[in-house]
Amino acid sequence: MRPELVTYDGLPASSGGAHRLRTRKPGTALAQVQSFLAACTLPDGPSRWAFELWSGGPEAATERWRAFAAERLGGPRRSGRTHREWSVHEQDVAAIMRALDTADPVEVTRHGQALARLTLTVPVCLRDPATGAPYSGVSADETGAFAVDGYGRMLGASGIRGTFATSGSTLSLWLSFPGDERLGPAVAAVRQACPVRPSATHWRRWVPTKNEAGYRSLKIQMPVSAPVSE
């Protein structure tokens, strides 16, 4: 039988798209995210780093970042009306973070968003703190690769996206939890290590349909098994 699961979407586009990390220093924000990943997750695929330079910012700052990216990263992998994007190798992350940490926080676009930012996208699986292994029964294979939306997210899979910039850093979460007696402790472990406070809403329980061809979901409040120090 297909397992019941619970998911957390933190945060959907309608609620801002991401949690804001509580630091102005991009390097500190990255360290917070990496600490959370080490404490609660195991990789479920390769990480993807990207450097983004957005349109509509101060001309001198834009040109300085463009020259920095060209020298360090080569040509952009994508150029559009709103921004340019470069692929980033792991060995270049430290240099980019140093540049962001020393950049002027007022380097923003006309819409007030960060001019330059580093993004990290990581497919993961949550780790059972009792065993150090992924939770059994929580994977895309176990759910038949059931698609939860039109953006490629699958039930049973988890992932994070961190965005690091001088005007503020954010963390997006898509987390799949076991829907059985392990749920409360699993949520408590994530809350304890997470650098942002998960919303009490944006949780769903996924129940297999009677014919087990798919799933139906219902909104629930955050599962809580014990108080967590904030």
DSSP per residue over 35-71, as a string?
HHHHHHEEESS--EEEEEEESSS-HHHHHHHHHHHHH
Rounded to whole angstroms, how far apart are CA atoms 119 and 30?
10
Residue 229 has pLDDT above 60, yes or no: no
Rounded to whole angstroms, how far apart are CA atoms 177 and 3?
11
Rounded to whole angstroms, how far apart are CA atoms 117 and 140?
31
Q: Which of 5, 18, 21 is nearest to 173 (CA)?
A: 18
Would you state the structure tokens that stand for residue 45, as one six-digit string?
């695929």
Provide the mean pLDDT of the chain: 93
Residues 21-58 have pLDDT tens digits of: 999 899 999 999 999 999 999 999 999 999 999 999 99
* Residue 185 DSSP one-character state: H
Largest CA distance in the chain: 61
- Per-residue model confidence (pLDDT) at position 56: 94
109 versus 226: the higher-pLDDT residue is 109
Would you state the structure tokens that stand for residue 148, as one six-digit string?
């939860």
